[in-house]
Amino acid sequence: MGVILKRMMLRAASSIADRLHIDALVTGEAISQVSSQTLPNLSVIDCVTEKLVLRPLIASHKQDIIDLAVEIGTADFAKHMPEYCGVISVNPKTHAKRHRVEHEEKEFDMAVLERAIERAKLVPIDRVIDELGQDVQIEEVSEALAGQIVIDIRHPDAEEDQPLELAGIEVKALPFYALNARFKELDPTRQYLLYCDKGVMSRLHAHHLLSEGHANVRVYRPS
């Protein structure tokens, strides 16, 4: 999953680079920091672009990268970088086979990627960093109260493997990819707590719903 996701990211980056007449791409990957960043996997990832891919941190230690991020002022930005639990493999591969990856990608609707590229917004990195912490405030709770509804937004496979059960609390399964479209169908007089394994995806979706004017949304992070 991670290899295919990064191949899609590289395709998108290459397309935008073509638009801007840029000859090389730069990523922050370091060898074996995560399963998708082994040398065999990076080789499979790079196959989707003719651009030169530069990786200045490729042999860096994780703590050295963190220290550098603090020094140049990007640590806070990196700390809030989303990691979607919906695209995390249960059994990640450290030596992906190119033919297998290409076979799996045939099931993907590339029109989805093209639409995402068409809608891309170019924002200077300094502006992104300046805007950190100036956005919608998202409330997190560690305990669900009577009358509140917990919405489990995990992928159905994850929800089936480890169902969320809370005594005396209604739990509603509504996967993240359907949440925004179906949230308006829910009772607006109730309060909803979004739940996912890492809490990142639930925060992102809570942010979107709050931005849309739904004030009855919180994030559920059990302790």
**Angle separating helix axes 98-105 and 2-19, nearest 10 degrees:** 70
- pLDDT at residue 43, as a whole number: 94
Residues belonging to the chain: 223
Q: Which of 30, 164, 194, 196 is catalytic?
A: 196
Segment 68-75 shows an average pLDDT of 73
- pLDDT at residue 107, as a whole number: 92
Angle at 96 between CA 94 and CA 97, to 5 degrees: 155
Residue written as token pair 């992928």:
155
Q: Helix or strand or coil: residue 140?
A: strand
The token pair that represents 14 in the structure block = 């290459």
Q: What is the pLDDT of residues 101-132, one digit of tens each?
A: 999 999 999 999 999 999 998 887 666 655 55
Angle at 33 between CA 52 and CA 5, to 5 degrees: 60
Whether 85 is a known active-site residue: answer no
Segment 64-72 shows an average pLDDT of 82
Q: Helix or strand or coil: residue 114?
A: helix
Other CB atoms within a 10 A radius of the CB of residue 172 amount to 13
Beta bridge partners of 54: 26
**pLDDT greater than 90 at residue 138:** no
- The DSSP H or E segment spanning 101 is helix 98-105
* Span of 50-59, 127-136, 147-156 with lowest mean pLDDT: 127-136
What domains are defined for the chain?
2-130 (3.40.50.620), 140-220 (3.40.250.10)
Structure letter (DSSP) for residue 145? P
